Structure 1
Amino acid sequence: MSYQVKIEKFEGPLDLLLELIEKEKLEITEVSLSKVTDQFLAFIEQNHDIEASFLADFLVVAAQLLFIKSKALLPSLELEEEASLTVDELEYRLKEYKKFKEIAQEIKRIFHAPRYSFERKFFRPKQELFYPGENLSLDALKNSFENLIQYFEEQEKLEEKSIEKTVSISEKITEIKSFLVKNQKLDFELMTSETKSKVDVVVTFLALLELVKQRSVKLSQERDFGNILIEKIKDE
C-alpha cells in the first residue's frame, strides 16, 4: 500500500517529501501541510483495510513536518524550559523512529533478497566388513587359528606361595603381657629365637616400644647393640 502526496511543489511518497525538506532541497514553507493531511484523510476513506502500522508511519512523518515548519515560521520564539524539553524530546523520538524504520526496511530487503544454497550429497560412512571367501572350509579356519596361536608366547606360570599370617601389634602386646605374668623379666633374643619371619621380629619390637610408652615395661642393655632385657614395672 502506497500513499502519494500531490501538491504544487512536490508529487511522490510522503517519506521522500520529508527527506527533501531535511536535506534543504525543498522549503518547508512552500508545503501546505493541511493539503497533505486532507489528501491522506481522503486516501483513508477510499481504503478501509489500512493497517495500523501504516497510520502510525503517517502520524510520525506528519508530526516531524509540523515540527520543522513551526521552527521555520517561528525562529525567534522562546519557549519555557519545560516546553523546550518537550520539544527536544519530540525531536529525539522522531529521529529514533526514523532510524528504526530504516533498519526495519533493510532487514526486510535482506529477508526477501534471493539466496543461493547448495545442498550436500548424502554421506554414508564406509563400513569395514569381512566376508570369508567361497572356498573357506572349517579345516582351513581351524588351521588358521592354530597358526595364529603359535605366535603368542606361553605365559610364564608364577610360583605358588602361601601367605603366612602376620601377627598384629595389639596381639603381640597381649602375648608379651602374658609372658610377664609368669616371669618378671624376659630376654628379647630368646623371645624371638623361634620366629621365622623378620616381620614378626619387627612387630615384637614395636609392641615393646608401645609397652614402654604405656609405662608397663622398661628395657635395658648392658652394651650397645646388645641383647635387650625386658622387665615388668610393678604397679605402685
Structure 2
Amino acid sequence: MTTTEGGGFTVSLENFEGPFDLLLGLISKREMDITEVALAAVTDEFIAYMRVDPDLSRTSEFLVVAATLLDMKARSLLPVEDEQLEADLEYLEARDLLFSRLLQYRAFKQVANIFGQLWEVNSGAHPRQAEMEPKFAALLPQLRWSTTPLDLAKIAAEVIFAAPPEVTTTHLHDPLVPVRPQAEYILKQLKVLGDASFEQLCADAPDVNTIVSRFLAILDLYREGAVSFKQEAPLAKLSIHWTGSDTIVADMRMEDEEDAVVAPL
C-alpha cells in the first residue's frame, strides 16, 4: 500500500493494482466486474492507510463507497432462478441506481478538489480597506437619483398591504368516471374487433381518469369471464381478447356505480 500524490491510497489485489479512484472508475464504466474485487482486502488496506494518516472526512467517504460496492456485489452474487430476471425493470433500476451513486461520489469529489484549488489560489487576496483616492473618485459618473420619498412609500405600501394570493381548490375535484359505462364501451369495441390492445381501447380517452376507469373495467370483465388478456413482459403491450357471449354479457354482475367509480387523480 502506498499513498498517491492526490492524498488517496492505492490498492494491491490479485487482478488490480493502482489508485482507489481508478478502481472505482473501472467499475463504473463496467470495464471490471465487481464480483472479481476482493472488498475485504480493499478495506484492510484502507484501515492500514488510516492508521498512518487518520482523516475523518476520508473515512466517511470510503464508508459510503464501500457500502455501495458491497451492495452491488451482493446483488451480483445472488442466485438467479429465471434467465430473464436481468430484464426485469426493477432489477435494472436498482443496478443503475448503484452506479449513479458511484458517479455522484466521483463528481462531488472532483468539485471539492476544484474548490480546494480555488481556495489556495485566492486565499492570499484581501479586499481594499482604504477609501478611493480623490483623483480616481473624480472619474466616477455622478449618481442621478430621481426617486422621491413618496415613491418609496408607495412601493412599501404595495408590499406591506398586498392582498394575500387566492388559492382555489377547483382543480382538485375532477368529475368522477363510472366504471360501468366504460365496461360497456370496451365490450362494444371487442365485439367488433375481437382482439385489441389497451392502447387502442384508450385512444379516444379524454383524460387520465377515463383511462384508469377503463383499466378497472377490464379487470371486472376478466373476473366475469368475458375477456382474457395477455402481456409478454412487464410494461409490454397488453392485449385483450373477447371470450364471452351475449348471455355472459347479459348476466354480468357489475357493481353499483357509487362503489365502482374512479376517484380523481
The structure with higher relative contact order (CA 8 Å, sep 6+) is 2
* TM-score normalised by the chain length of structure 1: 0.39
* TM-score normalised by the chain length of structure 2: 0.35
